[in-house]
Amino acid sequence: MSATKTTGGSFAALRQPVFAVLWTATVLGNTGSFMRDVASSWLMTDLSAAPAAVAMVQAAGTLPIFLLAIPAGVLSDILDRRKFLIAIQLLLTAVSISLMTLSYMGMLSVSALIGLTFLGGVGAALMGPTWQAIVPELVPREDVKGAVALNSLGINIARSIGPAAGGLLLAAFGAAVTYGADVASYILVIAALVWWPRAKNANDELSESFFGGFRAGLRYTRASKPLHVVLLRAAIFFAFASAVWALLPLVARQLLGGDAGFYGILLGSVGAGAIGGALIMPRLRERFDSNGLLLGSAIVTSIVMAALSLAPPQWLAVVVLLFLGAAWITALTTLNGAAQAVLPNWVRGRGLAVYLTVFNGAMTAGSLGWGSVGEAVGVPGTLLIGAAGLFIAGYIMHRVKLPSGEADLVPSNHWPEPLVAAPVANDRGPVLILIDYHVDKHNRTKFLHALNDMSAERRRDGAYGWGVTEDSADPEKITEWFMVESWAEHLRQHKRVSKADADLQSKVLAFHTGQEKPVVRHLLSINNPGRAI
């Protein structure tokens, strides 16, 4: 589609009709999902009062995202995204229809509720990376950041409305009606996606297969040290913070003496706090860097958990959860922004999928772990343990600084096309690339240090092996080598090298003393060498 130019601004993306329609439909769809989740969590407290069983609902919803986020990120790059999103919405519709029917007939059991919640999590896992990936298709480039922020705002609008509405519907009309409202929301989303006049994907000779794209995403993740820092900080924070989410239904029912409607109000308070936190975020960023914001989120969340363990009055619990929502959205946007900043466009979906995997893995493991702790020491004791752990971990991890994300990751396109005597089949491989340098002895140590920094770049962009050799007859002749799995993958590597990588390569080339540029050779595997002599 063609998008008209805009002047930017926080709400400029809503001037694009397609984005506005899909954004509105998404808010309604997420509102229905939160209504469904409230009904499921509360029904579980009716079916079983055991903390482990209640926490299992949270785990069943997040476990699929942990398992499927990375494959979903790959699928979002190789399938028609509109058709893929429609199929996902149909799956989620079927899940809610099943919940509605079983609830109406009085046949909903613990196992059925957990199983259907798991299927709902599968749909959420498949949808997350894909929905993020379509944003650049809907708005001009200058409005992408604003569109991402609006998506986050939309989720929190749904979070503030959905739980409260779900709790009220559940208390007034029962679970079947609440699930029915969720079904209606999915129908609206499907209608919006069917209406979306998305252009067909152009044929790309270098398009990736599922398994090739999967391996490329994992290679990048394994070689990106800045991303490792983000993933570590996220895993620690969410593992401790998951205690309050896993046990909140029991907090509402046992500690605060509330009903389903009150539980919805608590969740709505979290959503309202998140909206407030999003609105004051620009001012906070003027005073604190990302590390300070994340530390503040950990401190506020731990204080909220400790306050809830004391069974405060219901009105005070609602107020306290406003601060939880603000702290939660601050942590989410800080960590997600740090991940976005260190990922180039070509692997952004897969990198964010890895981030979602870690996020939901920490939430899943945390929910199961805190449920077991709750069985042993009770809900108040578990909240206090989680609060103390998050407070201490927040200060310890503050020493592990988040990456600044200032590197220019735009493709540089400075690599020349490889020389070939005849066209090479894209699937031929593996390919060995050799780069011959001539380096003076007195610069050898500095050169090798700079070249070692290059190894991560080679691996991030597609290499599965890297090394350095020297000529036995002339130690000043040094050869860098790396291997990629196919000729097509090496051509993709040409398109992936960023401007930041180009600056790094310039530092390496500064040590080369030859009269011409280093010689680059491409060696192709001979898969059918013939009869050995």
Percent of the chain with pLDDT over 90: 25
Confidence tier at 1 by pLDDT (50, 70, 90): very low
For the cut 50, the answer to whether the pLDDT of residue 315 exceeds it is yes
Q: Which carries the bigger pLDDT value, residue 533 or residue 332?
A: 332
Residues with Cβ < 8 Å from 520, sequence gap 6 or more? 418, 433, 434, 435, 436
For the cut 50, the answer to whether the pLDDT of residue 72 exceeds it is yes
Structure tokens of 3? 């998008």
Identify any residues that bridge with 433 across adjacent strands, giving them in sequence order.
Answer: 482, 522
Question: Does one domain contain both 460 and 388?
Answer: no
For the cut 60, the answer to whether the pLDDT of residue 401 exceeds it is yes
For the cut 60, the answer to whether the pLDDT of residue 203 exceeds it is no
Question: Does one domain contain both 296 and 238?
Answer: yes
Question: Does one domain contain both 118 and 257?
Answer: yes
DSSP-assigned states of every residue in 73-134: HHHHHHS-HHHHHHHHHHHHHHHHHHHHHHHHTT---HHHHHHHHHHHHHHHHHHHHHHHHT
Q: Of 198-212, 239-253, 294-308, 428-442, where does the model show the most confidence? A: 294-308
Query: By residue range, what is the domain housing residue 495?
Result: 431-524
Neighbours of 193 (CB within 10 A): 22
Question: Does one domain contain both 52 and 156?
Answer: yes
* pLDDT at residue 112 in the model: 86
For residue 229, tell me if it sits in a domain.
yes
Question: Backbone dihedral region of 378: left (phi > 0), alpha (psi from -120 to 50 degrees) or beta?
Answer: left
Average pLDDT over residues 411-417: 73
Q: Decide: 251 and 380 in contact? Cβ < 8 Å.
A: no
Q: Decide: 244 and 308 in contact? Cβ < 8 Å.
A: yes
Average pLDDT over residues 25-37: 88
CATH number at residue 495: 3.30.70.100
Question: Does one domain contain both 308 and 369?
Answer: yes
> What does the mean pLDDT of the chain come to?
83
For the cut 50, the answer to whether the pLDDT of residue 529 exceeds it is no
Question: Does one domain contain both 272 and 173?
Answer: yes
* pLDDT at residue 397 in the model: 92
Question: Backbone dihedral region of 430: left (phi > 0), alpha (psi from -120 to 50 degrees) or beta?
Answer: beta
**Count of structural domains, the chain:** 2
Q: Which carries the bigger pLDDT value, residue 329 or residue 49?
A: 329
Backbone phi, psi, residue 319, to 5°: -65, -45
Q: Looking at 147-151, 218-222, 235-239, which range is the least confident one? A: 147-151
Confidence tier at 201 by pLDDT (50, 70, 90): low
Domain termination site, one of 397, 421, 444: 397
Q: Decide: 350 and 197 in contact? Cβ < 8 Å.
A: no
DSSP secondary structure letter of residue 475: T
Average pLDDT over residues 6-26: 77
Q: Which carries the bigger pLDDT value, residue 445 or residue 413?
A: 445
For residue 403, tell me if it sits in a domain.
no
Q: What is the CA 74 to chain-centroid distance, rounded? A: 13
* pLDDT at residue 532 in the model: 38
For the cut 70, the answer to whether the pLDDT of residue 511 exceeds it is yes
For the cut 60, the answer to whether the pLDDT of residue 312 exceeds it is yes
Average pLDDT over residues 371-393: 91
Backbone phi, psi, residue 521, to 5°: -120, 145
Question: Does one domain contain both 381 and 435?
Answer: no
DSSP-assigned states of every residue in 149-176: HHHHHHHHHHHHHHHHHHHHHHHHH-HH
For residue 407, tell me if it sits in a domain.
no
Q: Decide: 131 and 85 in contact? Cβ < 8 Å.
A: yes
Question: Does one domain contain both 30 and 99?
Answer: yes
Question: Does one domain contain both 131 and 82?
Answer: yes
Local structure of 437: helix, strand or coil: strand
* pLDDT at residue 140 in the model: 78
Question: Does one domain contain both 95 and 181?
Answer: yes
Tell me the C-alpha to C-alpha distance, in Å, between residue 219 and each of 97, 351, 458: 40, 10, 10
Average pLDDT over residues 175-186: 90
Q: Looking at 20-24, 240-244, 311-315, 415-419, which range is the least confident one? A: 415-419
Average pLDDT over residues 381-393: 94
For the cut 70, the answer to whether the pLDDT of residue 411 exceeds it is no
For residue 529, tell me if it sits in a domain.
no
Identify any residues that bridge with 470 across adjacent strands, giving them in sequence order.
Answer: 478
Query: What are 74-119's pLDDT values in tens digits?
Result: 887 777 788 889 999 999 999 999 999 988 888 878 888 888 888 9
For the cut 90, the answer to whether the pLDDT of residue 338 exceeds it is no
Query: What are 457-506's pLDDT values in tens digits?
Result: 888 888 889 999 999 988 889 999 999 988 888 888 888 888 888 888 88
For the cut 50, the answer to whether the pLDDT of residue 10 exceeds it is yes
Helices in 207-313 by DSSP H: which ranges? 210-223, 225-250, 260-287, 290-309
| Nearest-angstrom CA–CA distance, 306 and 390 | 11
For residue 413, tell me if it sits in a domain.
no
Query: What are 252-269's pLDDT values in tens digits?
Result: 888 888 877 788 788 778
* pLDDT at residue 533 in the model: 35
Domain termination site, one of 345, 374, 397: 397
* pLDDT at residue 145 in the model: 61
Q: Which carries the bigger pLDDT value, residue 97 or residue 146?
A: 97
Cis peptide, bond prior to residue 226, ω within 30 of zero: no
Neighbours of 107 (CB within 10 A): 9
Domain termination site, one of 373, 397, 421: 397
Question: Does one domain contain both 391 and 439?
Answer: no
Confidence tier at 141 by pLDDT (50, 70, 90): low
For residue 500, tell me if it sits in a domain.
yes
Average pLDDT over residues 10-16: 76
Tell me the C-alpha to C-alpha distance, in Å, between residue 128 and each of 168, 304, 348, 358, 450: 28, 28, 13, 14, 38
Average pLDDT over residues 385-409: 88
Confidence tier at 13 by pLDDT (50, 70, 90): confident
Backbone phi, psi, residue 310, to 5°: -85, 5
For residue 60, tell me if it sits in a domain.
yes
For residue 84, tell me if it sits in a domain.
yes
CA atoms within 13 A on the CB side of 125: 26
Residues with Cβ < 8 Å from 70, sequence gap 6 or more? 214, 217, 218, 350, 353, 354, 357
* pLDDT at residue 495 in the model: 82
* pLDDT at residue 294 in the model: 94
* pLDDT at residue 232 in the model: 95
* pLDDT at residue 211 in the model: 79
CATH number at residue 150: 1.20.1250.20
Structure tokens of 525? 């595997």
| Nearest-angstrom CA–CA distance, 333 and 339 | 10
* pLDDT at residue 205 in the model: 61
* pLDDT at residue 531 in the model: 40
For the cut 90, the answer to whether the pLDDT of residue 42 exceeds it is no
* pLDDT at residue 206 in the model: 63
Question: Does one domain contain both 141 and 246?
Answer: yes
Average pLDDT over residues 145-151: 68
Exposure string over 466-492, b if 16+ CB within 10 A, otherwise e: bebeeeeeeeeebbbbbbbbbbbbbbb
Query: What are 274-302's pLDDT values in tens digits?
Result: 878 877 877 887 788 889 999 999 999 99
CA atoms within 13 A on the CB side of 259: 8
